[in-house]
Amino acid sequence: ALLGTGLCHVGAEAEGFGQDAGTSPPVAMFNWTAQLIEETYVNVTQKCWEYFVDLMRNVTASELCEWKVISRPYSLLQACLEGWADQLRYGYPNALAEQYIFQSHHRYFHNCTLEHQVYFDPPEDVLLAMIIAPICLIPFLVTLVIWRSKDGKTQP
């Protein structure tokens, strides 16, 4: 009953434990052992994954790389994993949550490529020249301004 259909919704998490959103998580109510917390988190994250897979069934192969389409299921997976880790005070990010995120990328998004050109930093010598050139130009420009202002002629 705890792992119902509202599993991955933030508001439903607290309700599933019969608490208000402002009260402390169930860990504070019970003296849970680390093993029990881990087992609970393992079971809950499996439900998070199953919910994500169910949502991804509605996404066609041509839409798998469109962020507008996959952002909701992906964000819900992440929120579910993180929300339950917070509720159980399990720590996030953690190895199990990362495993599910990597699994989602491997299973659904491995063929997605970037449509836009990826920009890389220039080589260090070019970067150094781009930084030093304006710095060296500043004393020259200051000297030029001072020299032109010492002309003594009134400027209109």
Which domains are delineated in the chain?
Answer: 34-109 (1.10.150.510)
d(CA 4, CA 11): 13
Q: Which residue has the tokens 């339950």?
A: 84
Put simply, whether the predicted model's pTM sits higher than 0.75 gets the answer no
DSSP code of residue 50: H
Average pLDDT over residues 33-55: 94
Long-range contacts of 58-66 (CB under 8 A, 24+ apart): 59/108, 64/108, 64/109, 64/111, 64/112, 65/109, 65/111, 65/112, 65/113
Per-residue pLDDT for 15 more than 50? no
For CA atoms 144, 147, 152, 153, the dihedral sign is negative
Q: Provide the pLDDT confidence category of residue 153 given band limits of 50, 70 and 90.
A: low
- Average pLDDT, whole number, for the chain? 79
Average pLDDT over residues 105-118: 77
Give the pLDDT score at 120.
77
d(CA 63, CA 70): 8
Least confident residue range of 17-21, 31-35, 50-54, 60-64:
17-21
Give the pLDDT score at 151.
66
Cα angle at 59 between 53 and 61, to 5 degrees?
Answer: 110
Give the pLDDT score at 72.
95
